[in-house]
Amino acid sequence: MKVRRSLLALVALSVVLVAATSARSAEPYVQKMNVVYGETDGIGLLMDIFTPTKEKNGLAVVDIASGAWHSDRGKINDHKRAQMYSIMCSRGYTVFAVRPGSISKFTAPNMLHNLKTSIRWVKAHAKEYDIDPDQLGLTGASAGGHLACLVSTTGEDGSPDAKDPLKHYSTRVAATVAFFPPTDFLNWDGRKPDLKSGGPVSRFVNGLAFPRDGKQRTEEELKAGIVAISPARLVTSECPPLLLVHGDADPLVPLQQSELMLKALKEAGVETKLIVKKGGGHPWPTIHEEVQVAADWLDKHLSAK
């Protein structure tokens, strides 16, 4: 009887393992985990790379894995559940899921710097992954959407004479999709934060914009630092085409934040669109439908050589 129970347990385990292997093999990608794209203060900066198992389209997407300005592995798993990698890779895109660092160690300007390093790294390795470095797409949701907008509004050209070979490459992308992004910390649903109040909102925003160095900053210095991480205030005509996706029942980031970004982009003459998900929260159960729309946007605006 004991032997029989052991055999049955082994059979059950085999079934589970076969099912798990089949599920993995059914995905349209191969996932390479924890690729180091840079280093800062002795800390390695990591990304996962999702390579299509079928025909590639010669294009790539940098997906920012960040939520609440934390970039642990759970954020990549969240994007898996949203079918980000399945949808993109099934269309032939190679996806670089970048972790820019978390607010526990990094400010938003630090994260922006790390993301720009990752874009340069992707461009430097374009031949290896058979992608066009001049036709990169960029995506992110929530904090990742904020950072995607920030990257898009602060693009830098490459410096051919730079000592660091990565800096030979620009940080510019060809198209962006941002899901429910914070875009203006000085106008949050029509309210302006008291930057020197010391309250929770003030502490959070200041902690996102500035290092925790104990320095006393003037009202003007605080405002300048927060403007520098508010992409709706940084838009220029050089921004790439940018799609915004936002729920009208978002309890965390008001729809107004995407509306501000949309207005600024239109005024600068940048091609843009806002898709409002009726009843959509932060996020919503059927967000994979909007990921398909995001892929359509990238299909429209990216073209391989």
pTM of the model: 0.91
Q: Containing H/E element for 29?
A: strand 29-40
pLDDT at 126 over 60: yes
Q: Assess contact for 121 and 129: CB atoms under 8 A.
A: no
Half-sphere exposure of 84 (CA within 13 A, CB side): 27
* pLDDT tens for each residue of 221-252: 999 999 999 999 999 999 999 999 999 999 99
Position 196 scores a pLDDT of 75
DSSP-derived secondary structure for 152-176: HHS-----TT-SSGGGGS----SEE
What radius of gyration do the chain's Cα atoms show? 21
DSSP 254: -
* pLDDT tens for each residue of 185-195: 999 999 888 78
**What structural domains does the chain harbor?**
28-184+230-301 (3.40.50.1820)
* pLDDT tens for each residue of 249-290: 999 999 999 999 999 999 999 999 999 999 999 999 999 999
pLDDT at 8 over 80: no
DSSP 252: S
Q: Decide which of 301 and 215 is more confident.
A: 301
Put the strands of the sheet holding 272-277 in their side by side order. 29-40, 43-52, 94-98, 60-64, 136-141, 175-179, 242-247, 272-277
Percent of the chain at pLDDT above 70?
A: 91
Position 14 scores a pLDDT of 46
What is the band of 305 on the pLDDT scale with cuts at 50, 70, 90? low
pLDDT at 173 over 50: yes
pLDDT at 95 over 80: yes
Torsion of CA 112, 118, 124, 125, to 10 degrees: -160
Position 209 scores a pLDDT of 95
